[in-house]
């Protein structure tokens, strides 16, 4: 039996149709609240084609998507919300947690956290809900910058720093004599101040199960950072499969998986932990994380030492040119996206609980919004000269 003809983007038409239903939201009695708020249009289902041979050659124009990258364009994020989140997140970072010194203000502005969060969470009922995601996103970047990468980070001793910061998310329960020193330690540096405050706001809006889920995903993230750091310190270049395993942990996963808290509802823990749901989440996280490797490729080439990313690891381990490694990494991304969409469509058919559908739609839209932010963030990213 041959496969049915592929639809747009190479998906069989039944899968495309299911994904379309997932994107647009369920219909029928009692499901109105599961649609995106009326102010936002649902993302279009338009997809780019995968054929790279039809692209023009040279370096794509700034703000263009990566040629051949399978993705879904999103509507321009609501400018009023973007501005309001941008204004409030800067007040939080500067006044509430002193997340960065004045000389990093350009970088903070260049990060465009308002546009990022509004693009990724079009179904947030209010700006307060968007702020939950915005604080955590900034806090995660402060930790990464200060402990791991750009601003004084180092792989040496990282395990101790990340664990103490993790206790701002997952509190220590200890004796009366030692508890105050621990509580005080959470104010000792910008990463811990940021985590502590962002988690406090998050936990106020989340159920205990959602808080537990977030802690788990942050523990995964920190394990991923520590694997990457171990390899940097020992100058180990992993096999491609090992790199992809590490990148499932050093991953955006904590961000799309708060989509229900930011949306003002809950995917119950027993549904969230189903293996099929976990698989869909992992594939989405992996696709969107590989997209980050692709958009940050030239930025990371400029950083000191060998910065591992998927194109570099493929080129190194499979004896390919940088361009061939990059283009193969694009294919890896596209397969992960297709696998995610197939897994989500299967779930939509086999487990049509409206909360599962809305959550999967939220994850899918987060992936699209994350792509949009990377594509359009010309302050941070530029593409290589591979076409």
For binding to a copy of itself (CB under 8 A), which residues are involved?
156-164, 166-167, 170, 172-176, 178-179, 181-182, 185, 207-209, 211-212, 215-216, 219-220, 222-224, 226-231, 233-234, 236, 238-242, 244-246, 248-249, 268-270, 272-275, 278-279, 282-283, 286, 332, 335-336, 339
What is d(CA 77, CA 111) in angstroms, rounded to the nearest whole number?
15
Residue number, 52 or 248, with CB nearest to a copy of itself: 248
Q: What angle do CA 25, 29, 35 make, to 5 degrees?
A: 25
105 or 212: CB nearest a copy of itself = 212
State both tokens at 333.
């991304």
The distance of closest approach from Cβ of residue 8 to a copy of itself in the complex, given in angstroms and rounded to an integer, is 21
Q: How far is CA 271 from CA 24, 183, 265, 277, 281, in A?
A: 21, 34, 14, 7, 12
**Cα 98 to Cα 86, 139, 225, distances in angstroms:** 16, 11, 24
Q: Least distance to a copy of itself from the beta carbon of 190, Å?
A: 18
CB of 215 to a copy of itself, least distance (A): 7
Task: Using CB atoms within 10 Å of the CB of residue 321, give its burial: 0 to 12 exposed, 13 to 18 middle, 19+ buried.
Answer: exposed
- Pick the closest to residue 255 from 224, 281, 229 (CA basis): 281
Q: How far apart, in Å, do the first and last CA atoms of the chain sit?
A: 37
CB nearer to a copy of itself: give 130 or 356: 356
CB of 114 to a copy of itself, least distance (A): 31
45/351 with CB nearer a copy of itself: 351
Q: State how far the Cα of 79 lies from the Cα of 191, in Å rounded to an integer.
A: 29
Quickly count: other Cβ atoms within 10 Å of residue 184's Cβ: 9
Select 118 or 244, whichever has its Cβ closest to a copy of itself: 244
CB nearer a copy of itself, residue 98 or residue 239: 239
Q: How far is the CB of 11 from a copy of itself (least distance, A)?
A: 16
Shortest distance (Å) from residue 383 CB to a copy of itself: 23
C-beta separation of 199 from 231 below 8 A: no
């Amino acid at each position: 039996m041959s496969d049915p003809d592929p639809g747009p983007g190479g998906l069989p038409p039944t899968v495309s149709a299911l994904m379309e239903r997932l994107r647009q939201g369920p219909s029928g009695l009692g499901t109105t609240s599961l649609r995106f708020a009326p102010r936002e249009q649902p993302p279009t289902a338009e997809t780019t084609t995968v054929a790279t041979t039809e692209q023009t050659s040279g370096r794509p124009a700034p703000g263009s998507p990566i040629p051949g990258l399978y993705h879904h364009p999103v509507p321009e994020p609501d400018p009023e919300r973007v501005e309001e989140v941008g204004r409030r997140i800067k007040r939080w970072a500067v006044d509430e947690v002193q997340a960065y010194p004045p000389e990093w203000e350009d970088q903070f502005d260049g990060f465009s956290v308002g546009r990022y969060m509004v693009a990724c969470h079009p179904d947030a009922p209010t700006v307060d809900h968007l702020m939950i995601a915005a604080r955590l996103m900034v806090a995660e970047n402060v930790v990464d910058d200060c402990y791991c990468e750009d601003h004084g980070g180092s792989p040496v001793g990282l395990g101790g720093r990340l664990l103490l910061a993790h206790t701002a998310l997952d509190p220590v329960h200890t004796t009366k004599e030692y508890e105050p020193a621990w509580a005080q330690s959470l104010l000792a540096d910008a990463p811990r101040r940021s985590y502590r405050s962002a988690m406090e706001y998050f936990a106020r809006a989340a159920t205990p199960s959602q808080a537990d889920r977030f802690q788990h995903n942050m523990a995964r993230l920190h394990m991923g950072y520590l694997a990457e750091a171990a390899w940097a310190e020992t100058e180990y270049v992993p096999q491609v499969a090992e790199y992809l395993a590490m990148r499932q942990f050093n991953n955006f996963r904590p961000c799309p998986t708060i989509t229900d808290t930011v949306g003002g509802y809950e995917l119950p823990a027993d549904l969230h932990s189903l293996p099929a749901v976990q698989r869909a989440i992992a594939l989405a996280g992996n696709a969107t994380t590989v997209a980050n490797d692709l958009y940050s490729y030239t930025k990371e080439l400029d950083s000191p030492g060998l910065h591992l990313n998927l194109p570099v690891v493929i080129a190194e381990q499979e004896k390919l040119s940088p361009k061939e490694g990059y283009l193969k990494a694009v294919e890896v991304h596209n397969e992960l996206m297709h696998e995610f969409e197939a897994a989500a469509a299967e779930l939509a058919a086999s487990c049509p609980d409206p909360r599962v559908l809305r959550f999967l739609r939220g994850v899918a839209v987060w992936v699209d919004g994350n792509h949009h932010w990377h594509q359009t963030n010309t302050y941070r990213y530029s593409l290589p000269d591979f076409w």
